[in-house]
Chain A
Amino acid sequence: MARAAVDRVIDILFILVLSANIAWAGEAAPAASDPGLEKRVNAISEELRCLVCQNQSLADSHADLAIDLKNQVREKLKQGMSERQIVDYMVERYGDFVLYRPPLKATTFLLWFGPFLLLGAGLVGLFVRLARRGRSAPEALSESERARATALLDVENEAGPR
């Protein structure tokens, strides 16, 4: 009896979950009406930052503005604008910040090349250090030092492994 009731509840839940999925699928359908166009919209949206949720691209974001901007991209593509023109359109309004790949110019020089400068500085530092270490090779041990070392090692060996 109880078992049957539980099964029934599970069935109902299952149907609810399924129907919820169907509702979602229905909502998403218009976007896929033209797969070729959608692919291009997505390709451009991947390159553009969502300004509301700044660490997401337009493609990833479901923010209201992101959806509006994606629609803009779709409209412009339908009007026959090129990818380049659409990106420029966005930059005109939101600045370079909207680009995930900032353009190479004087103000972004450090951004692009800073990591390589740091890497270069690190390598130079490393080589200088290694060269210096190579030159100051440790001197050979004197007789008394050798005796002390042996004594220390013996003590350790006698103690045995812990």
Chain B
Amino acid sequence: MSTEAVSRPGYTRYVLIGGFFVLVAFLAVGLKLDPREVPSPLIGKPAPAFELPQLHEPDKRFGPAEMRGRVWMLNVWASWCVSCRQEHPVLMTLARSGALPIYGLNYKDERAAGMAWLQQFGNPYRLSAFDAKGQVGIDYGVYGVPETYIIDKRGVIRYKQIGIVTPEILQTKLLPLAKQLEQES
């Protein structure tokens, strides 16, 4: 060790310093990665079909088949979901703008609780499908509510947001994407 350091003082030191910075770079990148952002295999795939009773009108049903030919947003929410509260104003703003129709998937909730939640905070959804058992949620790979899907006119999932849609994500990703998809045939 010491003979090397004496004979070639520069080399070893540069290797160590270089190695240190490589390590720092890896750690820095690792810090920026969100382990919760699991890449969804569903992007680019047809939105899984379902037929669920609606939250407000249990006799009526809703499924993605009805939405053929339209670009729409499917937002998974629940009254027990704390982050949904945080996301809620963003959805209200979007609903008022009319840029993108929002449909809800009320996930593993109780009907009364879900309806009361919308009553209390306001309802940004054209309607909500009622997925009491979470079976549709599993088909959509839901594991952290809220989750948001953008589905194109051909019924293909084009985007998935795990966790809340922030105003930034809405402005920089969802709205431009919706605009672009609107132009597709």
Q: Is the CB of B39 within 8 A of A97?
A: yes
* In the assembled complex, B21 has its CB within 8 A of some CB on chain A: no
* In the assembled complex, B121 has its CB within 8 A of some CB on chain A: no
**Within the assembled complex, what's the spacing in Å between the Cα atoms of A98 and B39?**
11
Chain B residues with CB under 8 Å of chain A are 3, 35-36, 38-42, 108, 134, 138-141, 143-144
Q: Is the CB of A97 within 8 A of B144?
A: no
Q: Is the CB of B39 within 8 A of A65?
A: no
Q: Give the A interface residue count (CB, 8 A).
A: 18
Q: Is the CB of B138 within 8 A of A52?
A: no
Chain A contact surface mostly? helix
Q: Is the CB of B38 within 8 A of A68?
A: no
Chain A residues with CB under 8 Å of chain B are 51-52, 54, 64-65, 68-69, 72, 91-97, 133, 136, 138
Which chain B residues border A52 with CB–CB below 8 Å?
Answer: 143-144
**Within the assembled complex, what's the spacing in Å between the Cα atoms of A91 and B140?**
12
Best-buried of B35, B40, B141 by chain A (most CB within 10 Å): B141
Which chain B residues border A91 with CB–CB below 8 Å?
Answer: 41
Other-chain residue from B3, B35, B41 in contact with A93 (beta carbon distance below 8 A): B41
For the complex of A and B, the 6 pairs showing the least CB-CB separation, nearest first, are A51-B143, A93-B141, A95-B41, A97-B38, A94-B141, A65-B143
Shortest Cβ distance from A129 into B: residue: B4
Which chain A residues border B138 with CB–CB below 8 Å?
Answer: 68-69, 72, 93
**Within the assembled complex, what's the spacing in Å between the Cα atoms of A95 and B138?**
12
Q: Is the CB of B141 within 8 A of A136?
A: no
**Within the assembled complex, what's the spacing in Å between the Cα atoms of A72 and B40?**
19
Instruction: Assess A95 versus B143: contact at CB under 8 Å? Given A64-B108, A68-B138, A69-B138.
Output: no
What are 23 of the A-B contact pairs (CB < 8 Å)? A51-B38, A51-B143, A51-B144, A52-B143, A52-B144, A54-B35, A54-B36, A64-B108, A65-B143, A68-B134, A68-B138, A91-B41, A92-B41, A93-B42, A93-B138, A93-B140, A94-B38, A94-B143, A95-B41, A96-B41, A97-B39, A133-B3, A138-B3
